[in-house]
């Protein structure tokens, strides 16, 4: 029995063997990771892999196992990597801890704080309601509006934050429409429009998720190459638009709406807007700072650095008293920042010691036949991994290997950042793939097959579009295989 908050007790009625298995599984997985570390450390032998490379590979194997099976929180596994690399002798301690201060980590921190200020002030919620009210006059335009709203907001905020913000609004809309869970196609469509919109919009810019900054951080640490805010957006916004068109079409095909009166939903959105009142001075200041920051990223980001622009904007917000620290600290995912610092450190260790090149030669290079198959294989691996584990962990695993294999096939390593980061952000099939999917599934309107079948089609179409972009559109912008 377990006590609840109210003081009552809940009896666990599961079979005893299931309870015992669950309680014993965690220490077993911890032990398996340690055994794997020792096995790689002492059993892998190759003339092409020196002792430091073997030590880095052992740490990498341990971290991959813990990430995949969620043995420890992602950020704790990353901190473990920073500790183990010097202890194992794969990297000097001063280098391991210095790599944690990569520019990408501070860009992510600045972006998180800016997004937190928008959410805390209510500005992001106001924008969402205004857009929904504008499109909320008939079921089709409301559905399109939900999709476009989530996609566009994910251009400028973390897609997870956007989903968390718009989900309650959509739940309220469905409640006033009295649509029954599971059997209502419109309920399914709205929930998937929220989930797919945030996911597809999140790959368009560097602000939709921390995958892209992480991939660019690893790229810069290993090769010295990077992307500006504008370059990344120009590369990926067309892909996001094309995939959005396909997603909206799939919603129409799989979940046809039919006749539906949504006047009550429109009124509910209007009531929420009226209750918010006029924009406050705090909202106006944050809106101006955010707009100026995006403009500075576009025009000055390459000259001054994306992280510097983000942190200057953060300082301006606090100096103007638009936000206070206690207002935003609960909105910033500090664990993810720790995770990215550790992932960049691990990737650098694999590259410096030659472990990444050796592992790439044993896996991707041995299966691929040329640059085309290399890009396809890497993109497919990123999509498969992101459906079953954190997309950031997927980037941390694949990015060092992809840069190593790029050298073996004479591919520009710069292209590996979008080839890894974009598909790693396209999780459509499973509730565990992304928080947006989990929220949509938790509504009760969706079954697993409602996600899996159209999600699989989106995966295939996304891979086709990505590879066509890589070979025919990206070279026009100076990024070619």
9: phi then psi, degrees, rounded to nearest 5:
-125, 145
**Other beta carbons within 10 Å of 17:** 8
- pLDDT per residue rounded down to tens, the chain (481 residues): 444 444 445 555 656 555 555 566 778 889 999 999 999 988 876 667 888 989 999 999 998 898 878 888 878 888 899 999 999 998 899 888 888 777 878 888 888 888 888 888 888 888 888 887 777 678 888 889 889 989 998 998 888 888 888 888 888 888 877 777 766 888 899 999 999 999 999 999 998 887 899 899 999 988 889 999 999 999 999 999 999 999 999 999 999 887 777 777 777 888 888 888 888 999 999 999 989 998 998 888 778 888 899 899 999 999 999 888 887 877 777 777 788 788 888 888 888 888 888 888 887 777 878 888 889 999 998 888 888 777 888 888 889 889 989 888 889 999 999 999 999 988 888 887 788 888 888 888 888 888 889 999 999 999 999 999 999 999 998 887 7
| Burial environment of residue 126 by CB neighbours within 10 A (0 to 12, 13 to 18, 19 or more) | buried
**Other beta carbons within 10 Å of 149:** 27
Which residues, at least 6 apart from 115, have a Cβ–Cβ distance to it below 8 Å? 124, 156, 157, 158, 161, 207, 331
| CA–CA separation, 36 and 64 (whole Å) | 10
Q: Tell me, what's the pLDDT at 470? A: 92
| CA–CA separation, 361 and 150 (whole Å) | 40
| Burial environment of residue 44 by CB neighbours within 10 A (0 to 12, 13 to 18, 19 or more) | middle
Q: Tell me, what's the pLDDT at 10? A: 52
**Which pair of structure tokens corresponds to residue 46?**
């190759």
Closest to 419 measured CA to CA, from 385, 466, 387, 461: 466
Q: Tell me, what's the pLDDT at 159? A: 86
Query: Please, what is the angle between helix 416-424 and helix 229-254, to 10°?
Result: 40
Q: Tell me, what's the pLDDT at 27? A: 85
| CA–CA separation, 242 and 234 (whole Å) | 13
**Which pair of structure tokens corresponds to residue 461?**
């179409």
Handedness of CA 157, 479, 100, 75 (dihedral sign): positive
**Which pair of structure tokens corresponds to residue 340?**
């990215």
**Which region, left, alpha or beta, applies to residue 410 given φ > 0 means left and ψ of -120 to 50 means alpha?**
left
Which residues, at least 6 apart from 216, have a Cβ–Cβ distance to it below 8 Å? 104, 206, 226, 227, 232, 417, 421
Q: Tell me, what's the pLDDT at 1? A: 46
CA torsion, ordered 145, 147, 148, 153, to nearest 10 deg = 120
Q: Which long-range contacts (CB under 8 A, 24 or more apart) does 360-368 make?
A: 360/401, 360/402, 360/404, 360/405, 360/408, 361/48, 361/404, 361/405, 361/408, 363/401, 364/401, 364/402, 364/405, 365/405, 365/408, 365/409, 368/405, 368/409
Q: Tell me, what's the pLDDT at 3? A: 46
């Amino acid at each position: 029995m377990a006590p609840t908050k109210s003081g009552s007790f809940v009896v666990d009625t599961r079979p005893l063997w299931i309870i015992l298995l669950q309680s014993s599984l965690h220490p077993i997985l911890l032990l398996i990771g340690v055994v794997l570390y020792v096995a790689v450390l002492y059993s892998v032998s190759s003339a092409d892999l020196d002792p430091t490379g073997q030590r880095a590979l052992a740490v990498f194997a341990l971290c991959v196992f813990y990430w995949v099976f969620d043995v420890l929180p992602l950020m704790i596994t990353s901190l473990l990597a920073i500790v183990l690399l010097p202890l194992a002798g794969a990297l000097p301690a001063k280098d391991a801890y210095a790599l944690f201060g990569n520019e990408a980590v501070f860009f992510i921190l600045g972006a998180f704080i800016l997004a937190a200020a928008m959410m805390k002030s209510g500005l992001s919620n106001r924008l969402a309601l205004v857009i929904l009210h504008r499109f909320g006059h008939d079921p089709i335009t409301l559905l399109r509006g939900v999709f476009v709203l989530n996609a566009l907001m994910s251009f400028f905020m973390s897609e997870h934050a956007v989903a968390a913000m718009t989900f309650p609004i959509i739940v309220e809309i469905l409640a006033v429409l009295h649509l029954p869970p599971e059997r209502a196609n419109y309920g399914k469509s709205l929930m998937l429009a929220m989930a797919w919109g945030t996911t597809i919009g999140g790959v368009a810019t560097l602000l939709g998720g921390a995958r892209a900054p992480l991939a660019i951080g690893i790229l810069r640490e290993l090769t010295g190459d990077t992307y500006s805010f504008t370059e990344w957006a120009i590369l990926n916004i067309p892909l996001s638009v094309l995939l959005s068109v396909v997603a909206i079409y799939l919603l129409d095909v799989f979940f046809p709406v039919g006749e539906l009166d949504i006047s009550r939903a429109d009124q509910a959105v209007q009531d929420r807007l009226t209750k918010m009142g006029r924009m406050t001075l705090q909202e106006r200041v944050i809106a101006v700072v955010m707009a100026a920051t995006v403009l500075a990223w576009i025009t000055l980001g390459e000259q001054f650095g994306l992280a510097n622009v983000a942190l200057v904007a953060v300082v301006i917000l606090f100096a103007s008293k638009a936000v206070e620290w206690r207002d935003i600290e609960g909105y910033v995912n500090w664990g993810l920042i720790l995770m990215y610092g550790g992932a960049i450190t691990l990737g650098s260790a694999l590259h410096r010691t030659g472990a990444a090149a050796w592992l790439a030669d044993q896996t991707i290079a041995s299966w691929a036949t040329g640059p085309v198959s290399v890009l396809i294989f890497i993109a497919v691996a990123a999509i498969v991994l992101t459906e079953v584990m954190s997309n950031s962990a997927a980037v941390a695993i694949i990015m060092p290997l992809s840069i190593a294999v790029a050298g073996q096939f004479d591919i520009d390593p710069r292209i590996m950042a979008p080839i890894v980061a974009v598909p790693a952000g396209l999780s459509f099939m499973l509730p565990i793939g992304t928080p947006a999917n989990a929220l949509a599934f938790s509504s009760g309107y969706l079954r697993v097959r409602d996600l899996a079948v159209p999600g699989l089609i989106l995966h295939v179409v996304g891979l086709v579009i990505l590879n066509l972009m890589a070979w025919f559109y990206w070279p026009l912008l100076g990024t070619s295989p």
